[in-house]
Amino acid sequence: MFGLGGGSITLFHFRGIRVSVDWSWFIVLFLVILYMTNFFESLLGTGGTTPFLYGVLSAVGFFGSILLHEFGHAVVAERNGIGISGIQLWIFGGMARMDREADSPSTELKVALAGPAVTLVIVVVLSLIGIGSVGWTEFREAAVQETRSDASALMALIAWLVTINALVLVFNLLPAYPMDGGRVARAISWWRSGDRTAATRFAANLGRLFGYLFIGLGIALLVSGRAFAGIWLALVGMVINGSARGAAMQTAISSRIGDVCVADVMDREPVAIPGDLSVEQALDEYFLRYRWPWFPVVDAGRRFLGLLMRDRADEVPEFERAGSNVSDFVDHDIGLFVRDDTPLDALLANQNLRRLGALMAVDAEGRLSGVVTIEQVGRALRDSTAGP
């Protein structure tokens, strides 16, 4: 699903992925707990702690499902060489922050469908549990939140999770970029045309169309007296419209860059530390000399091993530095390097480029061939957009 940047609160880290929540997430958390607590009070015919606990469990189950959805994207992205800097939950769902765009239509399609596939599994598994426990009729009544149903509170909770995940699945597969359905549409268009820029433009226009549609439907619901649903849908439409417009603007920039790739702008003589050098020598001969916060590390064949950060080297105890090789302390994050034949427009949304100020460039054999900096990318953008 889609999301926004901004300040966030870290919940935990999993497999090196930071999971955080935006402040707006607490609004949805409160609304889900309030709504489900009221439902369970009607179902159980009593107030107090029990309905509230089921309301909390409903919120935990819902947001747990959203997290699993985003982890589906993250796992498939990492398996296809795309780094994930974090997952953030916010008022309209969640977002896995990828360090770069997919490099092929097939990768784009697999990453886009991974999240909905996880949601579908959740729906199927919970449905089988519910139907197997109480039968189809009673489970269906619980799923539509029939408070006169004889279903237990636990079964009603499971049924609600099935319903809400099914709605999320259907809504998220609408071809409204940047939602998953819109990314599927872009992958198909990219595959048919062979032009990623044109495919993104097509998907962004679809996204803007659906954005206006959601805004119109939201206004219609608001006029008909369904204020909450109307405002919510209109806000979703505005977010989709804004995100799609941003993608269209980025596409316009990409089209001006043309066929420029990383190799055309990178520094071809980067300073790199040999992997068999001691940490003590690295500190004396590189960090103290150049005053840089990090250096690429290579093996004897010039293959890129990772980055050595100054802070990481400083953490090595002084009495161990002479006998410790830098290769044992490098950051191996796959998002720290790109192929030197990567189109330059693929770096426009790269989070690590913004964080570090540069990315390592490697050839087809994984050998370090250069370093591309954010200044070089910016200069290429300025040259491509400059008038005659």
- 182 and 151 both lie in a single domain: no
Same domain, 366 and 285: yes
Same domain, yes or no: 61 and 161 = yes
Does one domain contain both 180 and 159?
no
Note the pLDDT of residue 1: 45
Q: For residue 6, what pLDDT is reported?
A: 43
Q: What is the mean pLDDT of residues 330-356?
A: 79
In the chain, which ranges are continuous DSSP H helix? 25-44, 49-79, 105-134, 136-143, 153-172, 180-193, 196-223, 227-257, 262-265, 279-282, 288-290, 310-315, 318-321, 351-356, 374-385
Res 143 pLDDT > 90: no
The tally of domains found in the chain comes to: 3
Per-residue burial over 173-200, b = 16 or more CB atoms within 10 Å of its CB, e = otherwise: bbbbbbbbbbbbbbbbbbeeeeebbbbb
Residues 7 and 124 in one domain: yes
**Above 90 in pLDDT, residue 356?**
no
Tell which of 173, 201, 236 closes a domain: 173
pTM (two decimals): 0.73
Task: Report pLDDT for 4.
Answer: 38
Same domain, 319 and 240: no
Domain residues for the domain of 183 are 176-257
Residues 186 and 112 placed together within one structural domain of the fold? no
Q: Which of 241, 257, 273 is the last residue of a domain?
A: 257
Greatest mean pLDDT range, 18-22, 101-105, 217-221: 217-221
Per residue in 185-220, pLDDT (tens digit) is: 999 999 999 988 889 889 999 999 999 999 999 999
- What CATH number has the domain bearing residue 375? 3.10.580.10
pLDDT of residue 267: 93
- Maximum mean pLDDT: which of 7-21, 65-79, 236-250: 65-79
Q: Are residues 363 and 282 in the same domain?
A: yes
Q: Are residues 305 and 339 in the same domain?
A: yes
In this structure, of 4-18, 99-113, 302-316, the range with the lowest mean pLDDT score is: 4-18
Confidence at 134, pLDDT banded by 50, 70, 90:
confident
Residues 128 and 46 in one domain: yes
Domain edge (last residue) among 133, 152, 173: 173
Same domain? 307 vs 357: yes
Contacts of 64 (CB under 8 A, 6+ apart): none
Of residues 351 and 128, more confidence is placed in 128
Name which of 68-77, 134-143, 158-167, 277-286 the model is least confident about. 134-143
Same domain, 29 and 160: yes
Q: Quick one: average pLDDT of 215-231?
A: 90
Q: What percent of the chain has pLDDT over 90?
A: 52
Per-residue pLDDT at 47: 80
The values of phi and psi at residue 259, to 5°, are -95, 15
Strand pairing report for 358-362 and 17-22: unpaired
Residue 139 has pLDDT above 50, yes or no: yes
pLDDT at 293 (0 to 100): 92
Going by pLDDT thresholds of 50, 70 and 90, the confidence category of residue 11 is confident
Q: Is the pLDDT of residue 349 over 80?
A: no
Is the pLDDT reported for residue 342 higher than 70?
yes
Q: Looking at the predicted structure, is the pLDDT value of residue 135 above 80?
A: yes
